[in-house]
């Protein structure tokens, strides 16, 4: 299975949200990262068929979306960032409704609904109205509906947004379970979620792919550019203004700074092993100054 993005562009007036993107995706989990306005959601909406590209092609196994027509959508599972639920539907009713939209027959729809509600741990509350669900429960219902048709391409836009740490762990595990032998494209502001489950990192900036690297080697390019240094608070405040500081930690009367910089920020600074968050700040530091939690605006 191959999903090919060929010279893909999306133009809004004078703004090019996606700019001549090329990539070939095969089964695995792709973590899609980028700062505010990078083009991530626009790209995912084009792949899902919600938006039509201004130019370029999206191909599945060598055939364009236009050639495949409705057959393309049988391969897709999509969970958009702002997923709309019918609040007075129960989870069971909602899943059967979505199954009908996806063209499943009644017998298959009921069997698949029961199976998936068990998988996302909602079967015991399947008779309750969706409006009574917590944010985490709604997110789990969202991924369940995306899986109804056994998609070979699963697109998840901000699936862990607003979840507490326990729900995020549960959701990451669900994605890993569902990801087998699929192309999974996962966009999130929470860098740590991507680092746990992605096989490949795709990083976008100003509508272009900056890089596409396996998770195991993606930070190699900034090795030797991440530093830690211990200093007094006054000096730390000065360094926070001058450098891209990933983390600031108070230790007794001193402050330990983690800094991303091409050169040593101080004579007593030591290099440390880079993380995905360090890589993000290295490329998008001007967009995320002041952010320290791992959450970044889209």
Q: Which two tokens stand for residue 38?
A: 């990078």
Q: To 10 degrees, the CA torsion angle through 16, 284, 165, 133?
A: -20
What is the pLDDT at residue 291? 41
What is the pLDDT at residue 154? 96
* Strand extents, DSSP E, the chain: 3-12, 15-25, 28-34, 55-60, 63-64, 76-79, 153-157, 183-187, 200-205, 208-214, 226-231, 244-251, 254-260, 270-271
Taking the chain (298 residues) in consecutive chunks of 10 residues, what is each chunk's mean pLDDT? 95 93 95 88 94 96 94 93 84 95 94 94 95 89 93 91 82 84 88 89 92 93 96 93 92 95 95 95 68 38
Nearest to 199 by CA among 31, 87, 66: 31
3-state class (DSSP) for residue 67? helix
What is the pLDDT at residue 136? 84
CA 24 to chain centre: 18
3-state class (DSSP) for residue 42? helix
Question: What CATH architecture applies to the domain 3-214?
Answer: 3-Layer(aba) Sandwich (3.40)
Domain limits of the chain? Answer: 3-214, 220-288
What is the pLDDT at residue 287? 52
pTM above 0.75, yes or no: yes
């Amino acid at each position: 299975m191959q999903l090919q993005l060929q010279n893909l562009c999306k133009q809004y007036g004078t703004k090019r949200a996606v700019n001549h993107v090329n990539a070939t995706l095969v089964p695995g989990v792709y973590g899609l990262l980028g700062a505010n306005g990078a083009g991530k959601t626009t790209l995912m909406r084009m792949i899902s068929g919600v938006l039509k590209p201004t130019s370029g092609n999206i191909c599945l196994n060598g055939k364009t979306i236009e050639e495949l027509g409705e057959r393309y959508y049988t391969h897709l599972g999509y969970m958009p960032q702002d997923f709309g639920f019918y609040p007075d539907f129960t989870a069971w009713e909602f899943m059967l409704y979505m199954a009908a939209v996806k063209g499943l027959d009644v017998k298959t729809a009921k069997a698949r609904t029961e199976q998936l509600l068990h998988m996302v741990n909602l079967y015991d509350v399947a008779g309750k109205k969706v409006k009574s669900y917590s944010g985490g429960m709604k997110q789990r219902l969202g991924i369940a509906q995306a899986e109804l048709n056994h998609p070979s391409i699963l697109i998840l836009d901000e699936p862990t947004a607003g979840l507490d740490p326990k729900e995020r762990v549960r959701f990451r595990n669900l994605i890993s379970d569902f990801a087998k032998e699929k192309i999974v494209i996962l966009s999130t502001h929470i860098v740590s979620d991507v680092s746990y489950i992605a096989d490949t990192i795709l990083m976008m900036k100003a509508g272009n792919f900056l890089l596409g690297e396996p998770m195991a080697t993606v930070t190699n390019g900034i090795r030797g550019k991440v530093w830690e240094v211990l200093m007094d608070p006054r000096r730390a405040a000065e360094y926070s203004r001058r450098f891209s500081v990933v983390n600031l930690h108070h230790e007794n009367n001193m402050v330990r700074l983690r800094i991303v910089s091409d050169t040593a920020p101080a004579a007593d600074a030591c290099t440390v092993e880079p993380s995905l968050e360090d890589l993000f700040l290295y490329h998008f530091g001007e967009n995320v100054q002041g952010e320290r939690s791992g959450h970044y605006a889209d």
